[in-house]
Amino acid sequence: MSTTAPSTLEGTWALDKLHSTASFAVKHMVVSTFRTSFKDIDATFAAEGDAIILTGTVPAESIDIDQPDFRGHLMSAEFFDVANTPNIEFRSTSVRRGADDAVQVEGELTVKGITQPVTATGTLIGPVADVGGNDRVGVELEAVVDRSLYDLKWNAPLPKGGEALGKQVTLSVHLEFIRQEA
């Protein structure tokens, strides 16, 4: 039995949710960084010829924060306003592969019902065959967005100067896709 390394991305790929994460980091209290992730993410990856389309959806309420007051503040209209805009969505408009697995993805990110263009960079690795015989591809991307453009404007001046929460938010996704049967 022999396995040939699959060389093409052609086709549709489904997210391996167990091995994928979507997270963000934001400066807070001027000096430190707060990070958390979303528990429920979905994404699709499809390639046709040279064109790759990447999409993703994250329910804001799946944020990995359990403390009720903290969570309540984030779900409120001061942040994600989940009652009116439950999902964070992304759709690529261009995926360009560079040397050494590098990739640059341009697309539209929708948060709180507001869509803005965003550019993410990272790596696109694969496809590789896993031990179970499935073809896998890994996409790791990072983008920095200004949260105020999405009407996530809450802030407060700190007693010793500076703002409570940074404006720039670093978004990171680590996505693993499995090839679907044609």
Binding residues vs other proteins (CB under 8 A): 28-29, 34, 67, 69-70, 73, 156, 158-160, 164-165
Closer by beta carbon to other proteins, 133 or else 161 = 161
Residue 132 or 159: the one with the smaller Cβ distance to other proteins is 159
Give the helix ranges, DSSP H, for 13-152: 68-75
Please state, in angstroms and rounded to a whole number, the distance separating the CA atoms of residues 162 and 78: 19
**b/e 17-43 (16+ beta carbons within 10 angstroms → b):** eeebbbbbbbbeeeeeeeeebbeebeb
* Residue among 132 and 161 whose Cβ is closer to other proteins: 161
- Identity of the residue, 65 or 125, whose beta carbon is nearer to other proteins in the bound complex: 65
Q: How far is the CB of 156 from other proteins (least distance, A)?
A: 7
Q: From the CB of 105, what's the least distance to other proteins, in Å?
A: 30
Dist CA 59 CA 80 (whole Å) = 10
Q: Smallest gap, in angstroms, from Cβ of residue 170 to other proteins?
A: 16
Q: What is the DSSP letter of 71?
A: H
CB of 85 to other proteins, least distance (A): 22
Contact criterion met (CB below 8 Å) for 127 and 134: no
